[in-house]
Each structure stands twice: as C-alpha cells, then as structure tokens.
C-alpha cells in the first residue's frame, strides 16, 4: 500500500494515511522510514491488519517508472512549398437588369394595377356574430345526511356509568382515543401521588363493547337514509 507521511513525533513515531485518501490511517516507528523521509512523502509500505488496527511492517521508497518515449523525426522532400488557392462558387450568373424598368413609371403602373384589382374584386359575405352558448344550470348540492343517535343512545343508557364514559370515547376516536385518555389520566394520578389505572383492562372492556357500538352507529345511518 502506498502511504503518505502526515507527521513525525518526538517519541520516535510517525503518523500516516493511505496516499490520496483519508483512511486507513495509523502510526508507525520512525526507524522504519527510509533516510531523508519527510512529511508529505509517499512511500510503499507493507501493512498487516490485526485487532488493534493496521500495523506497519516495512517501508520502502516508491520506485518511479521511467517512460520510454520515442520521437519520430519528420523530414520533408526538400522541394519549395507552393500554396494553391481554390475558389468555389455555386452562384449562377444572372442577366443584368434593365434599370429603366425600375423607374417611377413602373412603380406607378403597379400601384394602378393593384388599385384597380382592389376596387373591382368582389368581397365575400360578412361573417355573422355567433352568440355564446347559454350557461349550464348549476347542479344542486346533495343533501348531507345527518344520522340520528337513537340506537347509540339506547346502547349507552344500558351501560354502567364508568363503562359509558369509555364507550363515548370509543365512538369519538376508537380504541386509540381510549388509550390516550387513560394515559392522560394516569399522568395526572401519578403527579398527585395516587395509584394508576390498569390501562389494559379498560382497553379489553372497550374491545368487548365496540361491536355493539358500531352496530348501533350503522343503524342510525340507515335510519337517516330512509
């Protein structure tokens, strides 16, 4: 791995990181560095990874490869260069215009001809104005059903007072609303130093009552439709 020396310490160690990257990084003994090494040098290191992290085993300078570049010599023929200029055109030759045809008389003749044509040309019938279509009548709004609460009231009146409170909360927001209400009440009891309520028992009671409440709610909706 090619590493870059980032710093040297007075305790005989140095810090390094992988060349061109931020990680991995680590420390090593200064005695492993080649002579004349300094901060910023890139060296070739043999590294072993153990439980504590990377460990530098040996370091050697990076050998630079020499590129063999072969240059080709271009020699001319020795003759003098004579540039050639070529002009290409696709324009066709036009016959010369008669300047006398562009005099005032020609323009006057054109105006007279155009005026005569304008005066004598018959005009078509004028297009009649079409009135816009009448506005469509607005559709009446559908009457919003407002179901009563006869059947729900009958179910609630058949419950105990403590059960009725839970049933009303379940009709408003389901079991989630019951859990939130019990949680808020337990927080108030805890603040007052009183024993908390068993939330699971109350939720089980609501689960038993919920089918009857939903049936009563559905029957109230059916009565509103009829």
What are the pLDDT digits (tens) for 30-84?
A: 877 888 888 888 888 888 877 777 888 788 887 765 566 566 666 666 666 666 7
Confidence at residue 128, expressed as pLDDT on a 0 to 100 scale = 73
Give pLDDT < 70 ranges for the chain: 24, 64-83, 86-125, 142-147, 226
Confidence at residue 86, expressed as pLDDT on a 0 to 100 scale = 67
- The residue among 192, 194, 163 whose CA lies nearest residue 178 is 163
How far, CA to CA in Å, does 124 sit from each of 118, 119, 121, 127, 128? 13, 14, 10, 9, 12
Confidence at residue 144, expressed as pLDDT on a 0 to 100 scale = 62
| Cβ pair 3, 17 in contact under 8 A | yes
| Cβ pair 25, 17 in contact under 8 A | yes
Confidence at residue 102, expressed as pLDDT on a 0 to 100 scale = 55
């Amino acid at each position: 791995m090619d590493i870059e020396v980032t710093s040297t310490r007075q305790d005989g160690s140095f810090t390094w990181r992988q060349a061109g990257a931020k990680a991995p990084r680590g420390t090593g003994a200064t005695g492993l560095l080649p002579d004349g090494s300094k901060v910023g040098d890139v060296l070739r290191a043999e590294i072993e990874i153990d439980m504590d992290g990377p460990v530098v085993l040996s370091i050697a300078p990076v050998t630079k490869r020499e590129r063999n570049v072969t240059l080709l010599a271009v020699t001319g023929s020795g003759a003098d260069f004579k540039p050639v200029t070529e002009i290409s055109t696709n324009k066709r030759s036009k016959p010369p215009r008669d300047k006398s045809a562009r005099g005032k008389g020609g323009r006057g003749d054109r105006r007279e001809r155009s005026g005569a044509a304008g005066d004598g040309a018959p005009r078509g019938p004028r297009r009649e104005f079409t009135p816009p279509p009448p506005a469509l009548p607005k559709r009446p709004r559908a009457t919003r059903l407002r179901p009563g609460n006869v059947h729900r009231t009958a179910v609630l009146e058949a419950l105990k007072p403590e059960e009725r409170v839970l049933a009303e909360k379940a009709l408003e927001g389901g079991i989630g609303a019951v859990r939130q209400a019990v949680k808020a009440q337990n927080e108030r009891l805890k603040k007052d130093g009183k024993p908390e309520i068993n939330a699971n028992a109350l939720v089980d009671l609501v689960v038993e009552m919920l089918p009857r409440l939903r049936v009563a709610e559905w029957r109230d909706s059916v009565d509103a439709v009829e």
